[in-house]
Amino acid sequence: MGCLALSVAAPPLGVFLMLRRMSLTADVLGHGILPGVAAGFLLAGLSLPAMAAGGLAAGLAVAVGAGALSRATGGREDASLAALYLVALASGVAMVSWRGGAVELTNLLFGSVLGVDDAALLLMAGSATVTLAVLALAWRPLVLECFDPGFARAVGARGALWHMAFLALVVLNLIAAFQALGTLMAVGLMMLPAIAARHWARQVGGMAYASVAIALASAWGGLLLSFHADVPSGPAVVLAAGAAWLVSTLLGPVDGLLARLWRRPHLAG
Amino acid sequence: MSPAEIRLTDLTVSHARRPAVHHLSGRFAPGSLTAVVGPNGAGKSTLLRALAGLHRPDAGRIEGAAGQIALLPQATALDRAFPIGCLDVVLFGLWGGSGAFRAISRAGRERARAALVAVGLEGFERRPVGSLSVGQFQRVLFARLLLQDAPVILLDEPFNALDARTAADLLAMVHRWHGEGRTVVAVLHDLEMVRREFPQALLLARDCLGWGPTAEVLTAANRLRARMMAEAWAAEPEPCERRDAA
């Protein structure tokens, strides 16, 4: 149930992240929420509100900080991002290990579906609802800001504002996902279906639909795998999504490998 | 809506304190058709971006430009691999009326289709922009300008890398805008075309070397000076002390 809610909301965000060449940013945000979640864990144990609040704060801080840092220091954005995510991961793991055991650490990093209770389900459903509503409303400015930021500024479309709102949505979805999938794996359900969807559609809207379909299938398959093979749910779902990506890369009608190898005669005009 | 006069007063626009446009004063008359010429690095694009409000001036003033400008940026600035169809790109031209949320009316869609037809791209509505040639993509951007319907139109190297036919078609559109009384300012490198088609010219090389009727501005002496000035680059310049009388 929870994974289905996540599957509906997160992948369209992934599509935009991919189109903005920000796939790496999603990864960084995924790691970035870890210290916040860990801080929540230290203060209040395995309590969802504390960990979610901590993660939200940390994620937003990283989202704002990464952009500001690279602009302010003139460095390359990918370098600052890599630095941030290493520090975030290390500090998060250190904080959890300090008080908790290996089990808690594994659960936080890789998720456990059994840990999903009613509150977590509500959080997932709530965040999915908010995400879809905001996406539906902000679709036009988001597409414009991705495609032609200069034009967006020239017509006064407040691109930066939309961009921040969008990053906040990304963080929200990662938070909602971490309980089921783990902080490290939550990004997988966002990015992999989006990257796979590129091979099934030529326009943004189609990609968003395709990514949702792929995510739903991956979540379903992944959870079955997790249950029967007794692997943590996060890696199982991400592996399933990875398989979907592999299949898409090979067989997808848009720029798929097979379509490239199978040389059909060129058209007359 | 008819365009207002755009007045520049002692305008300086810089990149990291290096002036790209230096103490420029003058006016674009309503309905004028002006070519901005000058070597690379002379501040032509920077001037257009400042006029469009995308680059804040360091000093001086721009008056009369706010809210009436449509800018066509250099084509290379866009991500052409983006998965979006031609009609959707053109429809962004309605942003001024539709904003982020308002629905786009059927009339708006019809105008977008008509604009595509006007630039010679009938039947391209659903084609992804990634499949277009450079010339076709430039036509799409002109269609978007058509929809913006702005009284002042700024074009940054609009005919770069275009074949003769496409350039001629788009130039005809520029003349149509001129005929409709819009103010048009275009950055150009083809001096032959400027002499032939543009009544007014502004020769920039950071400083303004001439602004007025094209034949008077584009003299050989002026162009030589422009070349020398644009390439000058002091290693450790002092802060500029110049104060021009406005």
Q: Identify the pLDDT of residue B103.
A: 67
Say if the Cβ atoms of A203 and B71 lie within 8 Å.
Answer: no
ipTM over 0.85: no
Structure confidence at residue B101 as a pLDDT band (50, 70, 90):
low
Q: Identify the pLDDT of residue B231.
A: 67
Give the mean pLDDT of B14-28. 86
Whether chain B has a CB inside 8 Å of the CB on A20: the answer is no
Give the mean pLDDT of B17-42. 88
Between the CA of residue B16 and those of A240, B21, B55, B57, what are the distances in Å?
A: 49, 13, 12, 12
% of chain B surpassing 70 pLDDT: 91
By C-alpha distance, the chain A residue nearest B101 is A137
Nearest chain A Cα distance for residue B27, angstroms: 21
Q: Which residues of A touch B70 (CB under 8 A)?
A: 154
Nearest chain B Cα distance for residue A32, angstroms: 28
Nearest chain A Cα distance for residue B80, angstroms: 8
The Cα–Cα gap between A184 and A109 comes to 5
For residue B149, how far is the Cα from the chain centroid? Answer: 14
Q: pLDDT digit string (tens) for B211-240? A: 999 988 888 777 777 777 766 666 777 777
Backbone angles phi and psi of B80, in degrees to 5: -80, -5
Q: Identify the pLDDT of residue A23.
A: 75
Say if the Cβ atoms of A157 and B95 lie within 8 Å.
Answer: yes
Options 3.30.70.360, 3.40.50.300, 3.50.50.60, 3.90.1150.10; CATH of B1-68+152-163+183-233: 3.40.50.300
Q: Identify the pLDDT of residue A67.
A: 67
Q: Which residues of A touch B46 (CB under 8 A)?
A: none
The Cα–Cα gap between B43 and B197 comes to 22
Q: Where are the domains of chain B?
A: 1-68+152-163+183-233, 74-149
Q: Identify the pLDDT of residue B30.
A: 92
State the DSSP string of A125-141.
HHHHHHHHHHHHHHHHH
Nearest chain A Cα distance for residue B156, angstroms: 13
Q: Identify the pLDDT of residue A14.
A: 78
Nearest to B91 by CA among B77, B108, B106: B108
Tell whether the model's pLDDT for residue B14 goes beyond 80: yes
The Cα–Cα gap between A176 and A124 comes to 5
Q: Which is more confidently placed, B118 or B235?
A: B118
Whether chain B has a CB inside 8 Å of the CB on A99: the answer is no
Q: Which is more confidently placed, A28 or B245?
A: A28
**How is the beta sheet containing B207-213 ordered, strand by strand?**
B69-72, B152-156, B183-187, B33-37, B200-205, B207-213
Q: Which residues of A touch B100 (CB under 8 A)?
A: 138, 140-141, 157, 162
pTM above 0.90, yes or no: no
Give the mean pLDDT of B62-77. 81
Q: Identify the pLDDT of residue B246.
A: 46
Give the mean pLDDT of B107-127. 87
The Cα–Cα gap between B23 and B209 comes to 11
Q: pLDDT digit string (tens) for B147-192? A: 888 899 999 999 988 899 999 999 999 999 999 999 999 999 998 9
Give the mean pLDDT of B58-83. 81
Nearest to A154 by CA among B99, B15, B53: B53
Tell whether the model's pLDDT for residue B97 goes beyond 70: no
Spell out, as residue ranges, where chain A has pLDDT lower than 50. Answer: none
By C-alpha distance, the chain B residue nearest A254 is B83
Tell whether the model's pLDDT for residue B197 goes beyond 90: yes
